[in-house]
Amino acid sequence: MASLGAPFRRTYRYLQRQAHENPVIFYSVVLGTVGPVLAVAVPPIRESFGYRPAEMVPTSYPLPKRPRRPVQGYDDE
């Protein structure tokens, strides 16, 4: 039964050693694997807390429903 846990124990010891000897590479790999997991896990968690996305920003300005007057003054003649 002890042989079933041996690969996990060796992997843990290897990761400990790498974190001590090559911390930059180790933590880069850790952050690289956590990123995609968070990209999948965070949106449902946010929705469960009641988060709603913000209203879309308008992309055009509404024009008034009247005839346009030409601008007068300030040397616009």
Structure-block tokens of residue 3:
């042989």
Please give the angle made by the CA atoms of 46, 52 and 53, to the nearest 5 degrees. Answer: 105
In a domain, 60, yes or no: no
> Model's pTM, two decimal places?
0.51
Q: Which domain holds residue 39?
A: 24-51
In a domain, 42, yes or no: yes
Number of domains in the chain: 1
pLDDT tens digits for the chain (77 residues)?
567 778 888 888 998 999 999 999 999 999 999 999 999 999 999 999 999 989 998 888 888 888 888 777 776 55
Structure-block tokens of residue 56:
């879309």
In a domain, 66, yes or no: no
In a domain, 46, yes or no: yes
